[in-house]
Chains A and B, each alone.
Chain A
Amino acid sequence: MRRASRHQTSEVGSRIAGVGLALLFSSLVGCDSGLSDGYDPELRYPLRSDPLVLQPPPDVPVSPAPPGRLNEWIAGLSERRGKLADPHELVNSPRLELQKALEELFGTPSAPLVAVPGRPTELPGVDLSAVHLAEGSRHYRRLCAQCHGLTGDGRGPAGAWVYPHPRDFRQGVFKTAIGTSKPPSEALTRILRVGVPGSSMPLFDLIPDEDVRSLVAYTVHLSVRGEVEFRVMKALLDESGESDVADIASECRQTAGSVFDQWTRTPTNTRLPMPESSGDPSIASDHASVRRGYQLFTTAGCASCHQDYGRTEAYRYDVWGAAVRVPDLTRGIFRWGKQPADFAAHIRHGIPASGMPAHPTLTDDQVRDLSAFVAELAYPQRLPADIRDLVYPTAIAGRSPNSP
């Protein structure tokens, strides 16, 4: 009797185990419809719904957006005399027309295009053909979308929780563009390959060159699409009456042409020839140049933002409406390269997107001196003793906060 009952129980158990195995198998079969396939073909790029930041507030922010609340924070900028435009005011027919026009020009997430009338599907170093963009879209979905979002708005699920916030490509503004409107493809490739130190942007050094090229192409696609959307929306929401948009589709085509042309302009070499930093603390730098750089740093206005060489926590609005921390130059973490030539380029041309001004009036020698100082600033043992005492008054002799 007991044996029979046990037998019955185990039979039921076997059946249930069989169902479990069947479920497991069917799930494994279904796994191929995951991330590797990219986006659903039915999916469309949604029209922008977050506020357009036309002008950040004139004041200085005291802190960045609270974690996870970037959108609310930006929406509140108008209360601080920032200038915003609300896409929700665009309703009915204009909204649908804009959506349709953008889709004709730029396709969908799974079948992206850059179909600008009268323009090729190629930019210097960037293949914008449909096949290449579709490849880029698949890689983007897998590697980038969780931070940079579906439309490249920097608002993927992780976007609001990391700081600095992921880049929003939709304004067509890149901090890597030095002295030009758009960055060269090499600059975007470099960011992908080496990452952005001090941020959550990882390096992609293990994927093939072809994948990186397609990712760069897709990023340009998202940026062009986003900028056209931004500009046309801005014109449609303009209350001054200066921008009268009669035909939305034609306005989109025209704006797309203009944005595309900006991308086609090959950036000229704007970098000063500089001796490369050795990175070896035992090699003495040009102390005279560093001393002159220090003097310039304290007199040319650098210290007004980089207070106490950036150690004092200070923020500035960027063009996207977020608050960015003024970099602490003593930490030795530089997002856009740490060679004197990198510093020289940013001192000369500034980083307009984050409020770092250009310095066109400084002579080349002055820029070199400033760059030499900034390059050595994080390494006390490489600074001349008198400058070290001024920059690190409390440092213990022989002990450095940073090692190269």
Chain B
Amino acid sequence: MTDTTIYRPVPSLVRILAQLTVLSAAALLVLGGLVTTLRAGMSDTRWPTSPTHLAENPDILRGENTGLKIEHSHRVLGFLTGGLATLLALAAWQTEPSRTLRWTGLLLVLVLVVIYGQFHRAMGVAWSAREAGGGLNWPRADALATAAASLGLLLAAVFAARARRQGWAVRVFASVALISVMIQGLLGGFRVFLDQIMGTELAAVHGTFAQLVFCLLTAVVILTAPRRAGDTLPPEDQARVGWWSLIVVGILLVQLVWGVWLRHVGSPASQRLHVLTAFVVTGAAAWMCVLALATPSGRARLGFLAYHLLGILVLQVILGVESWMGKFAAAGPQAAVPPPLRDVSAHAAGIRTAHVLIGTALLASSVAFAMRVWRKPVELPAVDG
């Protein structure tokens, strides 16, 4: 028997795929954070490598090069996340009620993946040419074709958004998430490919964009969640918390940019801004949670998220202090070396990477919070009899 008080925007399969993609992306973020902490991004100087590179070269996992192991595990998880994001986009488009738009969306996702794969292979050829001393020859046609296919998919998403049929937001976000995952993969790759020209800058952009991609994927999970009648916030609660929820997302995003810049570049400005913004984030998030928990209706609908946010905020502050001490406080010979060039112990690497991961979780949770605050009432289908 179907529960008519529950509205499912998309079938459970889409939700499961969205959850799997987020899990894979979280593991990817952990390894990405470790790559940055251990400065292992250039352990393998070659990009691109094939998805089966680790399977073809089992010596990497058996060998002594820890940097190489982490970097290639990161790349494998990147491929896995990309694969899951593709399945998610396909599953989301499969739910489009309009037959024409459904097949257009499905076809565009497949075309994009094939063309992107071809671009990836063409970059491999470009790398081999460089290695052989042939200079840098960009596969421009493949790049343009990939961009065109991405635009096509975005256009289909726009049509889906305008039609406003059931589950349209999932299709739009899943499409944007797929393209974002692809861009993120390219940013990581170009960070290696163009290391000598703009490696650090691209690594910082790659690190920042990772946060946005993770938020997008989290948003897809939230959008696929079953809804019930009356699960929205009363207007007075929404008025009280609404803007704060957006402000917290904004400040957290800014804070993560400082954090990424601090880790990759370590400029004095980023050091100061990251610490100062931490106070602003803590204050703003705490105040938002106080506002959310001020009424019984707020507690009922946002209580879990608010306490969850406060919990990981406290954890993040503790990890931040520990990371800061591990990076900037040094004694003995290490004190004579600038912080970005100091040794990184396994313990310090663990703390810093956890700080990065919890930072991302904080941003994703604040996005979830804001989506909960701003969501509109659901229209349940009428029940006969």
Q: Does A82 contact B (CB under 8 A)?
A: no
Minimum Cβ distance to chain A for residue B359 (Å): 17
Looking at the assembled complex, report how far the CB atom of A214 sits from the nearest CB atom of chain B, in whole angstroms.
Answer: 14
B329: min CB distance to chain A, Å: 16
Which chain A positions have C-beta within 8 A of B136? 205-206
State whether A46 touches B333 (Cβ < 8 A). Answer: yes
Stretch at the interface among B78-86, B153-161, B247-255, B307-315: B247-255
* B337:A67 contact, CB within 8 angstroms: no
Contact present for A205 and B40 (CB under 8 Å) = no
CB neighbours (8 Å) of A149 from chain B are: 337, 341
The answer to whether B243 touches A24 (Cβ under 8 A) is no
Interface stretch among A28-36, A240-248, A292-300?
A28-36
* In the complex, per-residue mask of B309-335: 1 if CB is within 8 Å of any chain A CB, else 0: 000000000000000000000001100
CB of B270 within 8 A of CB of A162, answer no
B39 touches A146 (CB 8 A): yes
Do A157 and B131 form a contact, CB below 8 Å, given A16-B247, A27-B270? no
B31-70 with Cβ < 8 A to chain A: 38-40, 42-45, 63-68
Bound-complex Cα distance A172 to B283 (A) = 55
CB < 8 Å neighbour of A160 from B257, B336, B343 = B343
CA distance A157 to B34 in the complex (A): 12
Q: Say if the beta carbon of B258 comes within 8 Å of chain A.
A: yes
Q: Is the Cβ of A67 less than 8 Å from the Cβ of B66?
A: yes
The stretch of A1-9, A216-224, A387-395 in contact with B is A1-9
Contact yes or no, B244 A13, CB < 8 A: yes
Which of A31, A64, A161 counts the most B-chain CB atoms under 10 A from its CB? A161
Of B195-203, B212-220, B374-382, which binds chain A?
B195-203
CB distance from B131 to the nearest CB of A (A): 7
Taking a contact as CB atoms under 8 Å apart, the answer to whether B239 and A162 are in contact is no
Q: Which residues of A contact B270 (CB under 8 A)?
A: 27, 30-31, 34
CA distance A145 to B200 in the complex (A): 13
B200:A207 contact, CB within 8 angstroms: no
Stretch in A121-129, A194-202, A339-347 with 4+ CB within 8 Å of B: A194-202
A24: which B residues are within 8 A, CB to CB?
254, 257
Q: Give Cα distance in the complex from A26 to B64, angstroms.
A: 43
Q: CB-CB < 8 A to A204: which residues of B?
A: 196
Within 8 A of B (CB), among A29-80: 29-35, 39-40, 43-44, 46, 49-50, 63-64, 67-68, 71
Of the listed stretches B95-103, B115-123, B167-175, B259-267, name the one at the interface; the rest are far from the partner chain. Answer: B259-267
- For A200, the closest partner residue in chain B by CB is B43
Among B39, B43, B45, the residue within 8 A (CB) of A195 is B45
Judged by a CB distance under 8 angstroms, whether B165 is at the interface is no
Quick check: is A302 within 8 A (CB to CB) of the other chain? no
Interface code A220-263, partner B: CB below 8 Å = 1, 0 otherwise? 00000000000000000000000000000000000000000000
**Residue B384 at the chain A interface, CB threshold 8 Å:** no
Q: Is there contact, CB below 8 Å, between A27 and B196?
A: no
Query: Are A157 and B340 CB-contacts (below 8 A) given A16-B247, A46-B333?
Result: yes
Binary CB contact string for chain B from 274 to 311 against chain A (1 if under 8 A, 0 otherwise):
00110010001000000000000000000000000000
Question: Is A143 part of the binding interface, using a Cβ–Cβ cutoff of 8 Å?
Answer: yes
Distance between Cα atoms of A23 and B251 in the complex (Å)? 10
Could you say which interface size class chain A belongs to?
35 or more
Contacts of A19 in B (CB 8 A): 280
What separation, in Å, do the CA atoms of A217 and B342 have in the docked complex?
Answer: 24
Within 8 A of A (CB), among B110-154: 130-131, 133, 135-136
Docked Cα-Cα span, A201 to B65, in Å, equals: 13
Tell me whether B40 and A39 are in contact (CB under 8 A). no
* Known contacts A9-B240, A161-B40, A202-B196; is-contact A33 B269 (Cβ 8 Å): yes
Identify the closest chain A residue to B199 (Cβ): A143
| Partner among B40, B194, B261, B341 whose Cβ is within 8 Å of the Cβ of A27 | B261
- The residues of A that contact B135 with a CB separation of less than 8 Å are 205
Query: Is there an interface contact between A16 and B65, defined as CB atoms closer than 8 Å?
Result: no
- On chain B, the residues within 8 Å of A29 by CB distance are 269
B67 with A26: CB separation less than 8 A: no
| Contact, CB under 8 Å: A150 / B268 | no
- Which residues of B221-244 have CB atoms within 8 Å of chain A's CB atoms? 235-236, 239-240, 242-244
B39, B44, B251 — most chain A CB neighbours (10 Å): B39
CB of B2 closer than 8 Å to a CB of A: no
CB distance from A281 to the nearest CB of B (A): 16
Q: Once the chains bind, are B239 and A5 in contact (CB under 8 Å)?
A: yes
Q: Does B183 contact A (CB under 8 A)?
A: no
CB of A10 within 8 Å of the partner chain:
yes
Would you list 18 pairs from A and B whose C-beta atoms are within 8 A, ordered by A residue? A2-B235, A2-B236, A9-B239, A13-B244, A16-B247, A31-B265, A34-B267, A40-B338, A46-B337, A143-B196, A156-B39, A156-B341, A157-B344, A158-B38, A158-B39, A158-B43, A162-B40, A163-B66
Seed contacts A200-B67, A202-B42, A206-B197; 5 additional CB < 8 Å A-B pairs: A13-B243, A27-B261, A30-B273, A71-B343, A161-B40
Chain A residues with CB under 8 Å of chain B are 2, 5-6, 9-10, 12-13, 16-17, 19-20, 23-24, 26-27, 29-35, 39-40, 43-44, 46, 49-50, 63-64, 67-68, 71, 142-143, 145-147, 149-150, 155-158, 160-163, 194-195, 200-207, 325
A-B residue pairs, 9 tightest by C-beta: A30-B269, A46-B336, A158-B39, A49-B333, A202-B45, A67-B66, A13-B243, A34-B265, A163-B64
